[in-house]
Structure 1
Amino acid sequence: MDEALLRSLTPSVLGILVRRGADFAAAEDAVQDALVEAVRVWPAEAPRDAKGWLVTVAWRKFLDASRADTARRRREDLVDEEPAPGPVTGVDDTLRIYFLCAHPSLTPSSAVALTLRAVGGLTTRQIAQAYLVPEATMAQRISRAKRTVSDVRFDRPGDVATVLRVLYLVFNEGYSGDIDLAAEAIRLTRQLAAAFDHPEVAGLLALMLLHHARRASRTAPDGSLVPLAEQDRGRWDRTLIAEGIDILQAALARDRLGEFQAQAAVAALHADAQTAAETDWVQIVEWYDELLRLTDSPVVRLNRAVAVGEADGPRAGLAALAPLDAALPRHTAAEAYLHERDGDLPTAARLYADAARKAANLAERDYLTRQAARLNTRLGGSGG
């Protein structure tokens, strides 16, 4: 059975049920029931029209649930009989479902969970395992999200920027449990790009591909973090890099620059360098300047300061870092790196140790601790 096909059809089947009159929560439950039925039936007898089969079964599930629930009898007025089986309408509701699941009224965590369930076709158990929370907790989160959006009317276009932020949140969760969320985010973004011709959608897809291309080289065999400059570039996926750059170039040619296109341009410059020493840091600083004009984000300013340190020297980088809030994530680590490059090893060692205590995850903490130990060993060996 083609599980990927099943999951790719989920948003359009859900959209058809909603357009026929089902509320979102009931429709989503019915689609999940239809997916379970497909897993049971299709291995023995695969349908000729997979989407039509799912729509028919999901609609029956919806009607059965409606008729069984006296509180929902008003839905009986929507239909007197089940639509005849056969080819479904060619209208693609995928985009509508993306916008609904990323509705501004939802918290980011709820939007991510609902997107993975309603658009991605994942089960509640799979999503819970991916986020390392109990299944009951995730079920409550998804249930609240569905209730929140059940009465949302789509009389005006949704916000694509919100959809892209949700997909990027999914991508950055990476891998845990039996669901590879980075790969899932790429799949969903490809699907969105096919339904919605927008340069920022293409920019996000390019950014994901370029980051994902380096995945195999990001950790050592023992699980420790390998920073970009030290990664084995021979392990980078050049096919993904070429695809990401092609998508990015086509998006940039439309002259509607957005933040994901600018981020992808930075990633492309890193991917294009055969060695760390060949990185075009001057261009990277220019792209960070573009990002600042688009977002004025403190995180972008921090990344720009590090890039300035590479392009113009560590003291220039420290000067760019100085006005920023020291509480910013990775600020102390960036400061440590720039001080080390400037030759101030005692300060760098102290800052690496401080950064390790502030690290957001174990791999990052271990890496920074090793940097502090390395410099302290050098200082001890030199009598410093």
Structure 2
Amino acid sequence: MNPPIIPEVIGILVRRGADFSSAEDAVQEALIELLGASSPPRDPKAWLVTVAWRRFLDATRSEAARRDREVRVATEPERGPAPDTDDSLWLYFLCAHPALSPSAAVALTLRAVGGLTTQQIADAYMVPVSTMAQRISRAKRVIAQESVGQPGDLAIVLRVLYLVFNAGYSQSVDLAAEAIRITRQLAALVDEPEVHGLLALMMLHHARRAARHEPDGSLIPLAQQDRTRWDTTEIASGIEILQATLARDRLGEYQAQAAIAALHADARDVAETDWPQIVEWYDELLGFTDTPVVRLNRAVAVGESDGPHAGLAALSGVGEDTPRHAAVRAYLYEKAGDTGPAIRLYVEAADAATSVAERRHLTKQAARLRGR
């Protein structure tokens, strides 16, 4: 099913008068019924609108409320063509309501707009399903209690889009492509450099998608990727957007990240990578978001620019509980020729890996060093 259909149907129900939480629940029930149908309807969107609206009416038994809503939609053909609208961007703003925390906003967006199950979202956040179900339910209650006319601000929407894009790499639904589509819509409507910076960042990362995994699903590190498989057209478009944005001299977090991605994408091979300039861009990025993950990635860049011992020194200031800390230390120790600690750390990193692909890759690295 085309991913935008779900937010379109939710948007239609909300515009008819359903509250967001009830509309989302009704659409989920309709999707379950659709999956169990013996044959697919000719117009899935119109079918979902009809069935979801009925489920909503069934759930709101008040005679007065039901009569009011039925009168409001009485002139609409029950199984006629559904309105040709795409409410995805509007729903992103709605899910990024200022009353919600960023994590709750992302979880709600993944469920309502991305179409992921609660189980998939829980796996992405590494929390029990019951915990995630409660988080999503609380978020929907907040949205129901607040004014629908008060959507989230642009910074929250950009953060949600960024996190949804990152989640797209590990899910069965192509959320990365959908996040790019929504961000492109936003860039056409909002004259804000960070929106264009985020779009460029997504495009530059997405251009490498075909080269990121082995046939068995194992991760392929950036340095070992077959760059002939990168989408050079998408890279050129991303760099063009980034250059035009940087020229406006209103630097932000996403533009700095996009500049780092562009330096990687612009190198014909790993030996040509401009690591000193990448370190400089990480220093710029730290001015906007001084997080352990940024410092971890900066330590890798320092290790490539100034040698593994300099990289390990930069890593010493990063907490060991930071994701991928052991994997980065293993790589830097290996680069320094210290094989023993590298093997131990690769094994430690594999044990802590949150995905099968990552665990398989790290285990292979440990086995490769043992084979020496």
Aligned to 1:293: 287
2:183 is equivalent to residue 192 of structure 1: no
Q: TM-score, normalising length from structure 1? A: 0.75
2:336 alignment partner, one of 342, 353, 373 = 342
Shift of 1:61: 7.1
Judged with a 3 Å threshold, the aligned counterparts in structure 2 of structure 1 residues 73 and 29 are, in CA distance, closer, same or farther, namely: farther
- Taking the aligned partners of 1:117 and 1:71, their CA distance within structure 2 comes to 28
Query: Cα offset for 1:293?
Result: 0.2
Tell me the TM-score normalised to structure 2 length.
Answer: 0.78
- The verdict on how the C-alpha distance between 1:200 and 1:11 changes in structure 2, with shifts beyond 3 A counting, is farther
How many Å apart are 1:114 and its aligned residue?
Answer: 3.4
Amino acid at match of 2:60: D
* Mean CA deviation greater in 212-221 or 129-138: 129-138
Distance 1:41 1:227 in 2: 44
Q: Does 1:244 align with 2:235?
A: no
182-191 or 242-251, which moves further after superposition?
182-191
Matched, 1:319 2:320: no
- Counterpart in the other structure of 1:24: 20
**Is this contact kept in 1: 2:10–2:27, CA < 8 A?**
yes
Partner of 2:37: none
Counterpart for residue 264 of structure 1: 258
Partner of 2:64: 73
| Structure 1 pair 334–65 and aligned structure 2 pair: CA distance change class (3 A) | closer
Q: Is the 8 A contact 1:335 1:351 kept in 2?
A: yes
Pair 1:330 & 2:324 matched:
yes
Deviations 1:270-320 (A, max 9, x none): 010000000011111111011100011111111111101111122221221
Letter in 2 for 1:288: Y
Deviates more, 1:350-359 or 1:273-282: 350-359
Unaligned runs of 5+ in 2: 35-39
Matched to 2:240, the amino acid is D
1:169 CA displacement: 2.5
Moved more, 210-219 or 338-347: 338-347
Query: In structure 2, what residue type is equivalent to 1:227?
Result: P
Q: How many residue pairs were aligned?
A: 359
Shift of 1:33: 8.9
Counterpart residue identity of residue 341, structure 2: T
Structure 1 residue 371: Cα displacement? 2.5
- 1:176 and 1:227 map into 2 onto residues whose CA distance is 16
Per the alignment, residue 200 of structure 2 pairs with: 206
Q: Which has the larger radius of gyration?
A: 1
8 Å contact 1:129–1:135 — kept in the other structure?
yes
**By how many angstroms is 1:89 displaced?**
11
Quick check: 25-34 or 284-293, which moved more? 25-34
Q: Which runs of 5+ in 1 are unaligned?
A: 44-49, 379-384
Report if the CA contact (8 A) 2:98-2:152 is conserved. Answer: no
Shift of 1:333: 1.9
